[in-house]
């Protein structure tokens, strides 16, 4: 595969990641809001995990923009 | 097991005796499963500690000669996995609202997204082109942790498939679905672990 | 799960299901917590004999300064497997899987543990793993001690990987047991049994279960990493590949320090049952004993690096670990003083169980004191790797855990079988054990401070005199254990009938028949108070029909022959 093609693929990946990331972020936050008053131990865990899921989506969006890239990655 | 005593249709009429037994065993099962997740979390934490310990041992990261990770691929792959967490959430919500077809649809979506994530992992491994044992602390950190997580995702895909089949065969009713709750917990757990792994490998 | 009725007043919880018939379902693949407890005890007892044989091989080798009984290589394998056996295959399964399974569901008024099938799985992993540990002899056993520090363990023979896999399996079994016990204690207590009304043995198990669940998993990670390093060359511990041998020590001791509390907290619980029963006095400081168990469990996670003072550590880190380690002496001291105060002014009955308990208090205190010495960095730098360490941990593990196990055995044997162990021979075995134990391990303090290094097949001739005393005393200890084993075998069929409550104890398990029926309680009782007020009536309601139709109905229930 040529370098140009690889760049194109990376671009497509980044754009898709941002779009889907925003969707997941929105869905997770809405779900968190709807579940906010639910009771029971498993629902508390669900809420925590939805919050972390939103955080993960947010991080992935930033990563797609190359903000926050770490030491071990190819930018 | 409790499931064996439950009539074979999600719309089945509920027997009060089964109800009482169910509500009593339900709490036990949920708590036991949460504790299992805690101990699984300790397993991951130990390897994360090992990775951070090795990474800070003065060789630099990535270690000399170690490959670079592909951030673009990782971003889309992460979003796929996080998206599967969202679809799993929808699946359980629809089951709670007695919508079987929608539940099944979201379950299939979750399973597909989980499999896509696994394929993405395979592509990433192939692109790295270094072995587990001959890449020094890179292999010890990256391959061990992502491999362990990938194994969890693999088990999760099978687990969810089994749950879907059970649900189609009427193992759960719309009032009694602890097994589905536990499956959702597991899948969210796998997602959340990936938030941590993604951060420490790609963003740190 | 429909086959196990749970607690709760009325309804399906009171349904009693028929006992499974047939030898296999009843005694082999049983899901009954009592049978599983006894299975654990028998299996761990067999491993105790095997581990004891290895210990005697060590003592025979050390009779002479230049050894000569086995080659140094064999000697390394023998003490490595001895340590692994005693820690993972004897004491931990005996105290958690054995006594824990048998006693604590009865004490909280439950019909079984929360997950009986999981319980059966936990048990059946354990003998398989034990066999794997011993099978490693065939491939060349591990030879770097039970701690298997790299890089030595990386150079070890093929059996080291087998050992790692086996101990990993033991860890899985422990983790499952921990989850099971924790859920059972949290969710299945009889109505009215609040946390501060739980018997102290249950508190011991309650403090141990999270340790089993969390610490054991960290050990699993360490063992998995060792296995990957050895079999696939993954660079965790090998410095030539960029790994770090110190990493193993961190991961290993993060488990293995809490593991020493896994080995002692349930034994503390046994003592807290035996001592008030035979002193006929309420236990002194119930809440302090209960909470100090939890304090020990929590502190136990923060002190692992005191095993690594000599491994190269920043002095700034040594100090907090030293202080935290010494802090553990406080909750432990609270327990020791509570037991002594319980004994003080009591009407003491020196049954064998009581003798072992009092012996425990004395010997464990000695081991605990040397533990505080070793927590001090300067002293540890001097004593590390000598026989002083060996003496210290044998005092807490043999003088503590193992004597606790024997106390529990003599105490609960009547509950398991409906018959006493022979008290006369029991007392003989106690005194032999007490003398042998001190004779074996007391001189090790002297030799250790004199500089005799541990884990060597030969030693400087100046240590030979005391070593010969140790070896001879260890034979006495072995004789004591043999007497106990014969006592068990004889008493199972021919022991004196004990009735349902031979010791006039007050916890729930003594209010039902011996051995308890399959379903434990015909009716789940209601609890009104903690069980240790010997002057009050029993704090339970709903036990009236428990003893109907048992074979002991017309026998004297007096504690005969124990004065």
Question: SS3 sequence, C308-322?
Answer: HHHHCCCHHHHHHHH
Q: Are C469 and C439 in contact (CB under 8 A)?
A: yes
Interface contact C397, partner B, CB < 8 A: no
Does A have 3 or more CB contacts under 8 Å with C?
no
Per-residue pLDDT of chain A (75 residues; tens, 9 = 90+): 678 888 888 888 899 999 999 999 999 999 999 989 888 888 899 999 999 999 999 999 999 888 888 887 876
Candidates A21, A53, A72; nearest CB to B69? A72
pLDDT tier at C24 (50, 70, 90 boundaries)? Answer: confident
Q: Do C242 and B136 touch (CB under 8 A)?
A: yes
pLDDT in tens, C330-345: 999 999 999 999 999 8
CA dihedral B33, B34, B36, B40 (to 10 degrees): 140
Q: Do B32 and C11 touch (CB under 8 A)?
A: no
Q: Which residues pair with C527 in a beta bridge?
A: C540
Residue B140 dihedral angles phi and psi, to the nearest 5°? -60, -40
Q: Do B82 and A56 touch (CB under 8 A)?
A: yes
Which percentage of chain C shows pLDDT scores above 70?
94
The closest alpha carbon to C82, from C12, C166, C16, C145, belongs to: C145
Distance from CA of B176 to the nearest CA of A (A): 15
Q: Which residues from B are below 8 Å from A31, CB to CB?
A: 86, 89, 93
Q: Which residues from B are below 8 Å from C175, CB to CB?
A: 39
Interface contact C110, partner B, CB < 8 A: no
Pick the residue from chain A with its C-alpha nearest to B191.
Answer: A53
- Chain C, window 305-364: residues with a beta carbon less than 8 angstroms from a chain B beta carbon: none
pLDDT in tens, C96-141: 999 999 999 999 999 899 999 999 999 999 999 999 999 999 988 9
Please name the helix (run of DSSP H) or strand (run of DSSP E) that holds residue B132, with its range, or none: none
Q: Are B117 and B153 in contact (CB under 8 A)?
A: yes
CA dihedral C21, C27, C32, C33 (to 10 degrees): 170
Considering all CA atoms of chain A, what is the largest pairwise distance in Å, rounded to the nearest integer? Answer: 55
pLDDT tier at C3 (50, 70, 90 boundaries)? Answer: very low
Residue B76 dihedral angles phi and psi, to the nearest 5°? -65, -40
Average pLDDT over chain C, rounded to an integer: 90
Interface contact A46, partner B, CB < 8 A: yes
Q: Do C179 and B21 touch (CB under 8 A)?
A: no
Q: Quote the pTM value.
A: 0.91
Q: Do C236 and B140 touch (CB under 8 A)?
A: yes
**A vs B: CB pairs below 8 A:** 136
Distances (CA, A) of C14 to B24, C110, C198: 13, 11, 22
Interface contact B83, partner A, CB < 8 A: yes
User: Rg of chain A over CA atoms, in angstroms?
Assistant: 16
Q: How far apart are CA B62 and CA B90, in angstroms?
A: 39
| Residue B5: predicted pLDDT | 42
Pick the residue from chain A with its C-alpha nearest to B90.
Answer: A31
Interface contact B30, partner A, CB < 8 A: yes
Mean pLDDT of C70-90: 95
Interface contact C180, partner B, CB < 8 A: yes
Interface contact B86, partner A, CB < 8 A: yes
Angle at C509 between CA C508 and CA C511, to 5 degrees: 65
Distance from CA of C163 to the nearest CA of B (A): 19
Statement: residue B8 has pLDDT above 50? no
| Residue B26: predicted pLDDT | 87
Candidates A9, A49, A68; nearest CB to B203? A68
Statement: residue C296 has pLDDT above 70? yes
Number of alpha carbons in the 13 Å side-chain half-sphere of residue C331: 23
Q: Name the E strands within B28-97.
A: 69-70
Distance from CA of C227 to the nearest CA of B (A): 12
CA dihedral C347, C353, C354, C355 (to 10 degrees): 140
Angle at B108 between CA A15 and CA B114, to 5 degrees: 50
pLDDT in tens, B45-55: 999 999 999 99
* C113, two tokens: 């543990």
Mean pLDDT of C359-377: 94
Mutation target for A interface from B76, B120, B124, B197: give the one with most A CBs within 10 A: B76
Mean pLDDT of C192-208: 95
Interface contact C228, partner B, CB < 8 A: yes
The residue with greater pLDDT, C400 or B64, is C400
* A42, two tokens: 């498993």
Interface contact A60, partner B, CB < 8 A: yes
Q: How far apart are CA A40 and CA B113, in angstroms?
A: 29
The full length of chain A comes to: 75
Candidates C186, C217, C250; nearest CB to B39? C217
The residue with greater pLDDT, C223 or B21, is C223
Chains that touch B (3 or more CB pairs under 8 A): A, C
pLDDT tier at B11 (50, 70, 90 boundaries)? Answer: low
pLDDT in tens, B62-72: 887 778 888 88
C6 CB burial (10 A radius; 0-12, 13-18, 19+):
buried
Candidates A11, A41, A49; nearest CB to B188? A49
Please name the helix (run of DSSP H) or strand (run of DSSP E) that holds residue A73, with its range, or none: strand A73-74
The residue with greater pLDDT, A42 or C82, is C82
Q: How far apart are CA C40 and CA B60, in angstroms?
A: 48
Distance from CA of B110 to the nearest CA of C (A): 29
3-state class of C556 per DSSP?
coil
Q: How far apart are CA B196 and CA B204, in angstroms?
A: 11
Q: How far apart are CA B158 and CA C390, in angstroms?
A: 49
Q: Which residues from A are below 8 Å from B78, CB to CB?
A: 17, 56, 59-60, 63
Q: How far apart are CA C362 and CA C356, in angstroms?
A: 10
Statement: residue C434 has pLDDT above 70? yes
Angle between helix axes B71-96 and B100-128 (nearest 10 degrees) is 160
The closest alpha carbon to C300, from C216, C420, C398, belongs to: C216
Q: How far apart are CA C359 and CA C407, in angstroms?
A: 10
The residue with greater pLDDT, A70 or B18, is A70
Mutation target for B interface from C154, C179, C180, C248: give the one with most B CBs within 10 A: C179
Interface contact B21, partner C, CB < 8 A: yes
Chains that touch C (3 or more CB pairs under 8 A): B
Statement: residue C227 has pLDDT above 90? yes
Statement: residue C6 has pLDDT above 60? no
Interface contact C8, partner B, CB < 8 A: yes
Q: Do A42 and B71 touch (CB under 8 A)?
A: no
Q: How far apart are CA C47 and CA C52, in angstroms?
A: 8
């Amino acid at each position: 595969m040529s370098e140009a093609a690889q760049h194109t693929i990376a671009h497509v990946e980044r754009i898709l990641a941002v779009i889907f990331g925003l969707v997941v972020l929105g869905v997770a936050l809405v779900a968190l809001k709807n579940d906010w008053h639910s009771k029971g131990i498993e629902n508390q865990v669900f809420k925590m995990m939805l919050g972390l899921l939103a955080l993960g989506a947010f991080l992935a969006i930033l990563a797609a923009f190359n903000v926050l890239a770490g030491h071990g990655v190819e930018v | 097991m409790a499931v064996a005593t439950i009539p074979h249709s999600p719309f089945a009429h509920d027997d009060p005796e089964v109800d009482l037994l169910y509500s009593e065993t339900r709490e036990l099962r949920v708590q036991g499963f949460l504790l299992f997740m805690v101990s699984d979390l300790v397993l991951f934490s130990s390897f994360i500690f090992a990775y951070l310990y090795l990474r800070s041992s003065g060789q630099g990261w990535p270690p000399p000669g170690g490959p670079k990770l592909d951030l673009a691929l990782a971003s889309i792959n992460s979003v796929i996995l996080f998206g599967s967490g969202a679809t799993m959430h929808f699946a359980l919500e629809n089951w709670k609202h007695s919508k079987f077809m929608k539940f099944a649809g979201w379950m299939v979506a979750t399973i597909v997204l989980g499999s896509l994530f696994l394929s993405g992992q395979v592509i990433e491994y192939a692109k790295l082109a270094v072995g587990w044992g001959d890449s020094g602390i890179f292999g010890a950190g990256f391959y061990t942790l992502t491999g362990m997580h990938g194994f969890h995702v693999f088990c999760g895909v099978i687990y969810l498939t089994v749950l879907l089949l059970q649900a189609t065969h009427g193992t759960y009713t719309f009032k009694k679905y602890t097994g589905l709750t536990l499956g959702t917990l597991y899948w969210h757990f796998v997602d959340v672990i990936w938030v941590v792994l993604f951060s420490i490998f790609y963003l740190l | 799960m429909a086959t196990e009725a749970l607690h709760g007043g009325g309804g399906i919880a009171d349904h009693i299901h028929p006992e499974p018939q047939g030898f296999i379902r009843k005694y082999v693949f049983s899901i009954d917590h009592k049978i599983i407890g006894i299975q654990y005890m028998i299996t761990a007892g067999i491993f105790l004999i095997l581990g004891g044989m290895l210990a005697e091989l060590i003592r025979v080798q050390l009779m002479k300064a230049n050894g000569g009984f086995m080659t140094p290589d064999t000697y390394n394998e023998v003490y490595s497997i001895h340590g692994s056996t005693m820690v993972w295959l004897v004491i931990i399964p005996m105290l958690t899987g054995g006594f824990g399974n048998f006693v604590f569901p009865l004490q909280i008024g439950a019909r079984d543990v929360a997950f009986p099938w999981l319980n059966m799985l936990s048990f059946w992993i354990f003998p398989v793993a034990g066999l794997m540990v011993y099978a490693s002899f065939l491939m060349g056993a591990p030879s770097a001690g039970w701690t298997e520090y790299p890089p030595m363990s990386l150079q070890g023979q093929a059996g080291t990987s087998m050992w790692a896999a086996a101990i990993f399996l033991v860890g899985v079994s422990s983790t499952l047991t921990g989850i099971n016990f924790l859920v059972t204690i949290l969710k299945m207590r009889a109505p009215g049994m609040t946390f501060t009304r739980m018997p102290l043995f249950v508190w011991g198990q309650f403090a141990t279960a999270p340790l089993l669940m969390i610490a054991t998993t960290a050990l699993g990670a360490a063992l998995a990493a060792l296995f990957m390093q050895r079999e696939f060359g993954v660079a965790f511990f090998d410095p030539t590949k960029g790994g770090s041998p110190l990493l193993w020590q961190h991961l290993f001791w993060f488990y293995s320090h809490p593991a020493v509390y896994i080995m002692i907290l349930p034994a503390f619980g046994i003592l807290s049952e035996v001592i008030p029963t035979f002193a006929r006095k309420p236990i002194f400081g119930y809440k302090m004993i209960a909470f100090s168990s939890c304090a020990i469990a929590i502190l136990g996670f923060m002190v692992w690096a005191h095993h690594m003072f000599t491994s190269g550590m920043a002095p700034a880190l040594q100090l907090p670990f030293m202080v935290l380690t010494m802090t553990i002496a406080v909750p432990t001291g609270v327990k020791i003083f509570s037991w002594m105060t319980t004994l003080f002014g009591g009407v003491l009955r020196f049954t064998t169980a009581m003798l072992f308990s009092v012996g425990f208090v004395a010997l464990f205190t000695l081991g605990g004191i040397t533990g505080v010495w070793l927590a001090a960095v300067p002293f540890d730098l001097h004593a590390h790797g000598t026989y002083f360490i060996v003496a210290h941990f044998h005092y807490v593990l043999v003088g503590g855990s193992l004597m606790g196990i024997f106390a529990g055995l003599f105490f609960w044997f009547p509950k398991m079988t409906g018959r006493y162990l022979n008290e006369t021979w029991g007392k003989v075995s106690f005194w032999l054990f007490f003398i042998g134990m001190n004779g074996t391990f007391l001189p090790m303090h002297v030799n250790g401070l004199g500089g005799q290094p541990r884990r060597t097949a030969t030693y400087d001739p100046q240590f030979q005199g005391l070593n010969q005393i140790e070896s001879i005393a260890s034979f006495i200890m072995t004789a004591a254990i043999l007497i106990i084993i014969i006592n068990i075998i004889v008493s199972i069929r021919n022991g004196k009938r004990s009735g349902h409550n031979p010791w006039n104890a007050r916890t729930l398990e003594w209010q039902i028949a011996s051995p308890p029926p399959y379903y434990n309680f015909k009716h789940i009782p209601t609890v009104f108070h903690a069980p240790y007020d010997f002057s009050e009536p029993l704090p339970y309601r709903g036990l009236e029909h428990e003893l109907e139709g048992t074979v002991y109905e017309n026998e004297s229930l007096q504690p005969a022959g124990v004065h």
